[in-house]
Chains A and B, each alone.
Chain A
Amino acid sequence: MSFIVRFRNGAPALRGVRSYASVSSSNPAALHLRTGQSFVGKSFGAPVSLFGETVFSTSITSYTESMTDPSYRGQILVFTTPLIGNYGVPENEAPFNSEDVGVVLESKGIQCSAIIVQDLAERFSHYTAMESLDAWCKRYNVPGITGVDTRAITRLLRDHGTTLGRVAVGPDAALSSPADHEYWDPTTENLVAQVSTREPYTLNPTGSVNIAVLDFGTKANILRSLVRRDAAVTVLPWNYDFNNVRDYFDGLFLTNGPGDPGQCMEAAMNVRKTMKEWNKPVFGICMGHQIIGIAAGMNAYRMRFGNRGHNQPVLALASSGSITAGRVYVTSQNHQYALELTDPFPEGWEPFFINCNDSSVEGIKSTVESGKRIWGVQFHPESAGGPLDTIEMFTDFVNECKAVKASLARTQSVSSAPKFTARSPIIATA
Chain B
Amino acid sequence: MPFKKQTRDEQAVAAPAVGDYVPSSDQHVLSSPSELARRISARVLPKLARPDVHKVLVVGSGGLSIGQAGEFDYSGSQAMKALREEGIEAVLVNPNIATWQTSHQLASEVYFLPITVDYVAYVLEKERPDGILLTFGGQSALNVGIALDKMGIFERLGVQVLGTPIRTLEVSEDRDLFVQALNQIDIPAAQSTAVSSVNAALAAAEVIGYPVIQRSAFTLGGLGSGFANNPDELRDLAAKGLSLSPQVLVERSMKGWKELEYEVVRDAADNTIICCNMENFDPLGTHTGDSYHDEYHMLRSAAIKVIRHLGVVGECNIQYALNPASKEYRVIEVNARLSRSSALASKATGYPLAYTAAKIALGWTLPELPNAVTKSTTACFEPSLDYIVTKIPKWDLAKFSTHVNREVGSAMKSVGEVMAIGRTFEESLQKAIRQVDPRYTGFEAYSQPQDLDRALRVPTDTRLFAIAHAMFNKNYTVDQLHDLTKIDKWFLYKIDNIVQTNLAIKAAPSLESIDRDLMLRAKRMGFADQQIADLISSTEDAVRAHRKSLNVTPFVKRIDTLAAEYPAHTNYLYTTYNASEHDVEFDERGTMVLGSGVYRIGSSVEFDWCAVTCARKLRDMGKRTIMINYNPETVSTDFDEADRLYFEELGWERVMDIYELEQASGAIVSVGGQLPQNIALRLKNTGINVLGTDPQMIDTAEDRHKFSAVLDSINVDQPEWVEATSLEDAKDFANKVGYPVLILHEESTLEYNLSAAASVSPLHPVVVTKFIEDAQEIDVDAVAHKGRLLVHAVSEHVENAGVHSGDATLVLPPFSLDDQDMFRLKEITQKVAKAFDISGPFNMQVIRKDSGDRGEPVLKVIECNLRASRSFPFVSKVLGHNFIDTATAAIVGENVPEPVDLMAEKRDYVAIKTSQFSWTRLPGADPFLGVEMASTGEVASFGKDIHEAYWASLLSTTGFRIPQAGSGVLIGGDITKPEMQTVAKGLVALGFHLYCSSTVVEEFLNDLPHVRCHKIFFPTKDKRKLREVFDQHDIQLVFNLAKSKGTDAGDEDYVARRNAVDFGFPLLNNCSLARKIPQGGLRKYIEGRIPSEVKSWRGFVGSNV
Contacts and interface: CB of A to CB of B under 8 A. Distances in A.
A326 B423 contact: no
A386 B386 contact: no
B32 to A, nearest CB: 6
A interface, over-half SS:
loop
Interface string A107-148: 000000000001101111111100000000000000000011
A126 B46 CA distance: 43
A311 B564 contact: no
A62 B293 contact: yes
A121 B387 contact: no
Nearest to B301: A388
B243 interface: no
B384 A59 contact: yes
B293 A65 contact: yes
Interface string B356-378: 00000000001100000000111
26 contacts: A58-B563, A60-B288, A60-B289, A61-B293, A80-B384, A81-B289, A81-B563, A82-B387, A83-B425, A118-B424, A123-B490, A127-B326, A151-B583, A313-B367, A315-B45, A316-B44, A317-B44, A330-B381, A351-B40, A356-B31, A356-B377, A356-B381, A357-B377, A385-B293, A386-B297, A389-B304
Contacts of A152: 579-581
A354 B43 CA distance: 13
A149 interface: yes
Contacts of A124: 490
Contacts of B580: 39, 148-149, 152
Interface stretch (B126-134, B269-277, B1088-1096): B269-277
B36 A341 contact: yes
Given A58-B563, A82-B386, A387 B297 contact: yes
Nearest to B488: A125
Given A149-B555, A327-B270, 11 more contacts: A65-B293, A125-B488, A128-B292, A147-B524, A147-B578, A151-B563, A151-B583, A152-B580, A158-B565, A310-B384, A359-B32
Interface in B333-373: 366-367
Given A154-B563, A356-B37, A60 B381 contact: no
A309 B366 CA distance: 20
Contacts of A64: 293
B489 interface: yes
B290 interface: yes
A60 B380 CA distance: 17
Contacts of A315: 30, 37, 41, 44-45, 367
Interface in A354-377: 354-359
Nearest to A317: B44
Contact of B385 (A60, A154, A310, A359): A60
Interface in B366-424: 366-367, 376-378, 380-388, 423-424
Interface of B: 30-34, 36-37, 40-41, 43-46, 269-271, 273, 288-293, 296-297, 300-301, 304, 324-326, 366-367, 376-378, 380-388, 423-425, 488-490, 493-494, 517, 524, 555, 557, 562-567, 578-581, 583
A150 interface: yes
Contact of B493 (A58, A123, A316, A317): A123
Contacts of A388: 297, 300-301
A326 B46 contact: yes
Nearest to A388: B301
Given A315-B41, A316-B44, A356 B32 contact: yes
Given A151-B579, A155-B564, A359-B36, A83 B381 contact: no
Q: Identify the interface centre among A119, A122, A124, A357: most chain B CB within 10 Å of its CB.
A: A357
Interface in A231-261: none
Interface string A310-346: 1111011110000001111010000000000101000
Contacts of A399: none
Contact of A311 (B382, B424, B489): B382
Contacts of A383: 297
Nearest to B323: A127
Given A82-B424, A311-B384, A125 B297 contact: no
Contacts of B37: 315, 354-356, 359
Contacts of A341: 36
Nearest to A128: B292
A165 B7 CA distance: 48
Given A150-B386, A152-B580, A356-B380, A125 B490 contact: yes
Contacts of A326: 44-46, 269
Contacts of B325: 127
A201 interface: no
A227 B557 CA distance: 46
Contact of A82 (B293, B297, B578): B578
Q: Identify the interface centre among A87, A356, A358, A388: most chain B CB within 10 Å of its CB.
A: A356
A384 interface: yes
A86 interface: yes
Contacts of A128: 292
A312 B1001 CA distance: 72
A357 B292 contact: no
Interface string A149-164: 1111011001000000
A158 B46 CA distance: 33
A83 B297 contact: no
B386 A358 contact: no
Given A61-B292, A330-B273, A81 B385 contact: yes
Nearest to A358: B34
Contacts of B273: 330
Interface string A382-409: 0111111100000000000000000000
B953 to A, nearest CB: 47
A391 to B, nearest CB: 8
Contacts of A121: 490, 493-494
A315 B546 CA distance: 54
Contacts of B326: 127
B564 A154 contact: yes
B185 to A, nearest CB: 15
Contacts of B564: 80, 151, 154-155, 158
Q: Identify the interface centre among A150, A309, A311: most chain B CB within 10 Å of its CB.
A: A311
Contacts of A80: 384, 386, 563-565
Q: Identify the interface centre among A59, A128, A154, A359: most chain B CB within 10 Å of its CB.
A: A359
A151 to B, nearest CB: 5
Contact of B378 (A81, A154, A313): A313
Contacts of A356: 30-32, 37, 367, 377-378, 380-381
B44 A325 contact: yes
Interface in A300-315: 309-313, 315
A327 B269 contact: yes
Contact of A61 (B32, B270, B289): B289
Interface string A15-38: 000000000001000000000000
A149 B579 CA distance: 5
Nearest to A62: B293
A152 B580 CA distance: 7
A311 B40 CA distance: 22
A357 B32 contact: yes
A357 B19 CA distance: 12
B293 A125 contact: no
Nearest to A155: B564
Given A58-B565, A82-B424, A119-B423, A151 B386 contact: yes
A119 B578 contact: yes
Interface string A40-83: 00000000000000001011111011000000000000001111
B280 to A, nearest CB: 15
A175 B106 CA distance: 60
Nearest to A127: B325
Contacts of B383: 311
B501 to A, nearest CB: 13
